[in-house]
Amino acid sequence: MEKNLEALEKQLDVKFSNINLLRQALVHRSYLNEHRDFPLDHNERLEFLGDAVLELVVTEHLFSNFPNPEGELTNWRASLVNAQMLSMVAEQSGIEDFLYLSRGESKEAKTKARQSILANSLEAIIGAIYLDKDYDAAATFVHRNIIAKLPHILKYKLYLDPKSRFQEISQEVEGATPSYRVLEESGPDHEKQFVVGVYLDDAEVATGRGTSKQEAQMHAAEEALAAKGWAER
């Protein structure tokens, strides 16, 4: 199924000389399994290229504008280029409506897999811009859509992982250090599911689920930040 990509070009504010580069950036591997006559490849090579361009643009910006230690800059960079941030930018850019997905993938809602597909597609688009234009055009796109999020990230310390943020704010606001307890453990060894509760002074604040205790703790901390109204404190 062909898609009219002119609307997406307007949303991205990029006019492609070779529209098939943009089209390929939107092709998920699953689509080709159902459309073997599709003339383009999937987007994974473009994603590989775009990932490198994105990291270099962000690294150059941080190095040139902040005298902070390497460890802090690394954390800031990670907060800009992680899957959660990239998928959010992809959603804001309206990319999802133009993806080439299998029927099964198309039916998936806001899952972790869909988040990954969106993030990878955004990286592929950055790679496509680099090939269609040049490094400067790709850098302009990254600055406008991704690096522009940095002031918000720094203001609310979103570069910290949820556990670190929740602990820091809990100690600052309530003078208490969070503790975590495994509430439930289920499933066979190769598919374990954990439910973890996070507590302040023995009062449960929130729970989180994950395939490891660490993942469940992270999700519990995210939920706790939201429950306390501290997500953007």
- Select the more confidently predicted residue: 233 or 71: 71
Per-residue pLDDT tens for 38-61?
A: 999 999 999 999 999 999 999 999
146 and 184 housed in the same domain: no
Per-residue pLDDT tens for 98-156?
A: 999 998 887 765 667 889 999 999 999 999 999 999 999 999 999 999 999 999 999 98
**What pLDDT score does 1 carry?**
61
Share of the chain above pLDDT 70, in %: 98
Number of domains in the chain: 2
* Tokens coding 122: 């955004």
Please identify, among 133, 155, 177, the residue that sits at the C-terminal boundary of a domain. 155
52 and 83 housed in the same domain: yes
- Give CA–CA dist 168/221, Å, rounded: 12
Please identify, among 108, 138, 155, the residue that sits at the C-terminal boundary of a domain. 155
Q: What are the C-alpha distances in Å from 171 to residues 81, 122, 229?
A: 29, 37, 15
Please identify, among 155, 186, 214, the residue that sits at the C-terminal boundary of a domain. 155
151 and 129 housed in the same domain: yes
* Tokens coding 14: 């990029």
Question: CATH number of the domain that 190 lies in?
Answer: 3.30.160.20
Whether residue 190 is predicted with pLDDT greater than 90 in this model: the reply is no
Q: Can you give 122-147 as a three-state secondary structure string?
A: HHHHHHHHHHHCCHHHHHHHHHHHCH
- Give CA–CA dist 165/225, Å, rounded: 8
Share of the chain above pLDDT 90, in %: 88
Whether residue 228 is predicted with pLDDT greater than 70 in this model: the reply is yes
101 and 174 housed in the same domain: no
- Mean pLDDT for 195-211 is 96
pLDDT band at 23 (very low <50, low <70, confident <90, very high): very high
96 and 195 housed in the same domain: no
- Mean pLDDT for 79-95 is 95
Q: Is residue 233 one of the residues assigned to a domain?
A: no
Domain containing 166 equals: 162-227
Whether residue 24 is predicted with pLDDT greater than 90 in this model: the reply is yes
31 and 57 housed in the same domain: yes
**What pLDDT score does 74 carry?**
95
**What pLDDT score does 107 carry?**
73
149 and 168 housed in the same domain: no
Q: Is residue 133 one of the residues assigned to a domain?
A: yes
- Mean pLDDT for 213-218 is 95
**What pLDDT score does 31 carry?**
95
Q: Which residues are catalytic?
A: 51, 123
